[in-house]
Amino acid sequence: MTYRKRWSDAENEEFARLLHIFKKDFNVISERMNKTYTQVRSHYYNLEQKEAKAAKILKNSSSKVSSSESLHLIVFDTDSQQK
């Protein structure tokens, strides 16, 4: 059985910083973090999917809630479903 550990805030910040510098060179990013190539690549594509889903929900939302409130609710709901 494989135990999946969530990335810490510090790891996410470092990932974002390295992604900005090295774009999608997951080999270089994984070497600079304590992560495998597969972990880094998967993390990137999971974040892409979350962003696309949030954008789609915001676009299709017909409620009168402000965009920032909608985004907060989406992120909160996504985080609670992963636990």
**pLDDT tens digit sequence for 2-29:** 667 889 999 999 999 999 999 999 999 9
Number of domains in the chain: 1
Residue 1 belongs to some domain of the structure: no
Q: What's residue 54's pLDDT?
A: 87
Residue 3 belongs to some domain of the structure: no
68 is in which domain, residue-wise? 9-82
24 to each of 4, 21, 33, 41, how far by Cα in Å? 23, 9, 14, 8
Residue 30 belongs to some domain of the structure: yes
Pick from 59, 54, 56: which is nearest to 73 by CA? 54
Residue 37 belongs to some domain of the structure: yes
Q: Which residues contact 11 (CB under 8 A, 6 or more apart)?
A: 33, 35
Residue 23 belongs to some domain of the structure: yes
| Euclidean distance between CA atoms 40 and 36, whole angstroms | 6
What is the per-residue pLDDT across 24-68, written as a single tens digit (0 to 9) for each? Answer: 999 999 999 999 999 999 999 999 999 888 888 888 775 555 555
